[in-house]
A and B are shown apart, each in its own frame.
Chain A
């Protein structure tokens, strides 16, 4: 399993 990061799901504001 590979750990994803939040910036793959949410956009930087």
Chain B
């Protein structure tokens, strides 16, 4: 038996919005540690690695590890039937061919449940080694969304150049070119508004803006995003999943393969 109850159900709705445009289907691997999902997009350019920690749920029961194969568009549609302030419970029997979602209103005067068929998925996992990245850039998630959106006007790719002076995002195309430079924040009252660069080595890499724009769908989960880069390895973009109190409930990480010279 698997059962997980999340009082701040809107977090699960936001998690689904952050992955449904990138992935068609994926397995939720449920264990005593929590619910994990790792899947690549169909072209194998980007990967999502997502964790919802068991102690982030108000109730969490997982008698034995199970893998729930899910059509993510279907799950997203069902979660749209939950109100933003609903409590969401996910339930699946061992060896079941369906998963149940229960939505309770805060006053418990409206309870709905939806059963969804599970899929048999042949999932392919990638081993991602723990990496010491040459640069880790932390910035407001809204700022990163804006940069990716604005530079998409100019081209398909962004060059991210991280040096000790700050970070420069550049794009060029038929109509011209654009650059956005962010300096490290000197004094910031609010931590979530800071730009912080932790750099061991300067790095310049090129990435597809189309995929970065998919990743920014996770911005509602977190006020900050971190970009971790090293030469000639995929970019890692991480949004921490925090509840209203700011406690960590897990993360959404995206990996994106760089573009290289032909």
Contact = CB atoms under 8 A, between A and B. Distances in A.
A6 B261 contact: no
Interface residues of A, number: 13
A9 to B, nearest CB: 6
A11 B128 CA distance: 8
B124 A5 contact: no
Contacts of B206: 1
B255 interface: yes
A6 B126 contact: yes
Interface string A1-13: 1111111111111
Contacts of B47: 6
A2 to B, nearest CB: 5
B180 interface: no
B234 A9 contact: yes
Nearest to B123: A13
Contacts of B40: 6
A7 B46 CA distance: 10
B124 A6 contact: no
Contacts of A9: 233-234, 257
Nearest to B43: A5
21 contacts: A1-B157, A1-B261, A1-B262, A2-B260, A3-B208, A4-B257, A5-B43, A5-B45, A6-B44, A6-B46, A6-B234, A7-B126, A10-B127, A10-B128, A10-B129, A10-B234, A11-B126, A11-B127, A12-B125, A13-B125, A13-B126
Interface of A: 1-13
Interface of B: 40, 43-47, 124-129, 157, 206, 208, 233-234, 255, 257-262
Given A1-B157, A6-B45, A10-B127, 12 more contacts: A1-B262, A2-B259, A2-B261, A2-B262, A3-B208, A4-B257, A4-B258, A9-B234, A10-B126, A11-B126, A12-B124, A13-B126
